[in-house]
Structure 1
Amino acid sequence: MEAFALSTASVAVGELGDKTQLLALVLATRLRRPVPIIAGIFAATLLNHLIACLVGAWTAELLSPDVLRWALGISFLAVAVWALIPDKLDSAATPRGSYGVFMLAALAFFLAEMGDKTQILALTLAAKYDDLLQVVAGTTLGMMIVNVPTVLFAERATKWLPLQAVRLVAAALYVVLGVVTLAGHSRLL
């Protein structure tokens, strides 16, 4: 249960203000079809994070627990810095064409998530924990916790979401997670 809880919380916090959350906002305001958008986000996230977690689990077999602890701690600190950098959607990430809304959302999300901080978190958490299913479920739930309300309340969210404050809180959380992990107190996580 620890793997599920930490995966859910860390990815949900990491997703706040992220480019994929901005993508959810763009899709919702342009297409105005929340159900297929949410289904596309779910399918893309599940597949993307499953791949990342499989790579993470494979990496865990190759490295010692101490190396994994350092890698996870440094990853958390790197994500803390990354969280402070505002994400922007470039025009290439804005979906176009005649694809169905579901396929458009799924493809756009899958590609936007490649190499993203939440994908890196999924990989490193899978390397730390033996329960791949809990990590995949937790990281996917973390993405959905942030993106479903974004899609459902897209119009209102653009008016009251203080992205800079969200980034600062997310960065602080990742600094704490990184320091605790590096200090060898990962049982607190």
Structure 2
Amino acid sequence: MYAFLLSTAVIFVAELGDKSQLMAMTFAARYRARDVLIGITVATAIVHLVSVGLGVAIGEAFTENQDVISILAGLAFLGFAAWTLRGDELTEEEAEKARRSRGMALLAVGTAFFLAELGDKTMLATVTLATQEGWFGTWVGSTLGMVLADALAIGVGAVLGRQLPEKAIKYGAAAAFAIFGVLLVLEGLGAF
């Protein structure tokens, strides 16, 4: 349960302001919100299952030295904080592809999200969480966290358009990553 709750919260925060949210808003303008959410959910579940598998393999390779994993995970989270502050934007070309995608909505959305999430900070954050937490809770929680954040983007985007408080979202997400990072590093150093 802890892995589920932690992963849901961390990935929800990581997804705030991410280009995937912008893609979700763009797809929602073209397709029904339900179809967009189903496509996002399927793609996210697949990507995060792979991420969890990688994380578990890394965690098992270092079972003798969990302090090293905590320190590396903490440093990764500090890197995610910096990545979040740098920002993540949807290029005009990516927005145009989302607007003009052809075919079934589920296939278009699912494929676009699957490809967009490979190597993204939410995928890497899921790998990092899975090095120390239970795989199933991490997988389900990270998938839920991302879907909730993208659903929020669709809903808020429909109501407020582009007047989202982008700076507040960016700084809040970066601060959350930094806090998790510092706590993990301190845990690895034996401060707890």
Do they fold alike, i.e. is TM over 0.5? yes
Q: Between the two proteins, what is the percent identity of the paired residues?
A: 35
Query: Once the 2 structures are TM-superposed, how far is the Cα of residue 32 of structure 1 from its aligned partner?
Result: 3.6
Aligned equivalents of 2:158 and 2:21: distance in 1? 14
Query: Once the 2 structures are TM-superposed, how far is the Cα of residue 153 of structure 1 from its aligned partner?
Result: 4.0
Partner residue of 1:33? 32
Partner residue of 2:166? 163
Structure 2, unaligned stretches of length 5 or more? none
Partner residue of 2:78? 77
Partner residue of 1:2? 2
Aligned equivalents of 1:2 and 1:154: distance in 2? 31
**Contact persistence 1:25–1:151 (CA under 8 A):** yes
Structure 1 residues 157 and 75, CA gap change in structure 2 (3 angstroms):
farther
Q: Secondary structure at the match of 2:86?
A: coil
**Contact persistence 1:40–1:105 (CA under 8 A):** yes
Q: Secondary structure at the match of 1:161?
A: coil
Cα deviation digits, residues 129-159 of structure 1 (max 9, x gap): 1x21100011011011111132234332434
Query: Once the 2 structures are TM-superposed, how far is the Cα of residue 51 of structure 1 from its aligned partner?
Result: 0.3
Aligned equivalents of 2:59 and 2:177: distance in 1? 21
Structure 1, unaligned stretches of length 5 or more? none
Q: Secondary structure at the match of 2:131?
A: helix
Kindly indicate whether residue 103 of structure 2 is the aligned counterpart of residue 99 of structure 1. yes
Cα deviation digits, residues 39-65 of structure 1 (max 9, x gap): 000000000000011011011111221
Please report the RMSD computed on the Cα atoms of aligned residues, expressed in angstroms.
Answer: 1.6
Partner residue of 2:14? 14
Residue identity matched to 2:167 = Q
Aligned equivalents of 1:157 and 1:178: distance in 2? 32
Query: Once the 2 structures are TM-superposed, how far is the Cα of residue 92 of structure 1 from its aligned partner?
Result: 4.1
Q: If the length of structure 1 is used for normalisation, what is the TM-score?
A: 0.91
Deviates more, 1:84-93 or 1:14-23: 84-93
Query: Once the 2 structures are TM-superposed, how far is the Cα of residue 26 of structure 1 from its aligned partner?
Result: 1.0
Aligned equivalents of 2:31 and 2:49: distance in 1? 28
Q: Secondary structure at the match of 1:87?
A: coil
Residue identity matched to 2:12 = A
2:152 to 149, 158, 176: 149
Aligned equivalents of 1:47 and 1:159: distance in 2? 30
**Contact persistence 1:72–1:128 (CA under 8 A):** no
Aligned equivalents of 1:143 and 1:100: distance in 2? 22
Residue identity matched to 1:55 = L
Q: If the length of structure 2 is used for normalisation, what is the TM-score?
A: 0.90
Cα deviation digits, residues 13-43 of structure 1 (max 9, x gap): 11000010111011112x1411111100000
Partner residue of 2:123? 119
Query: Once the 2 structures are TM-superposed, how far is the Cα of residue 185 of structure 1 from its aligned partner?
Result: 7.3
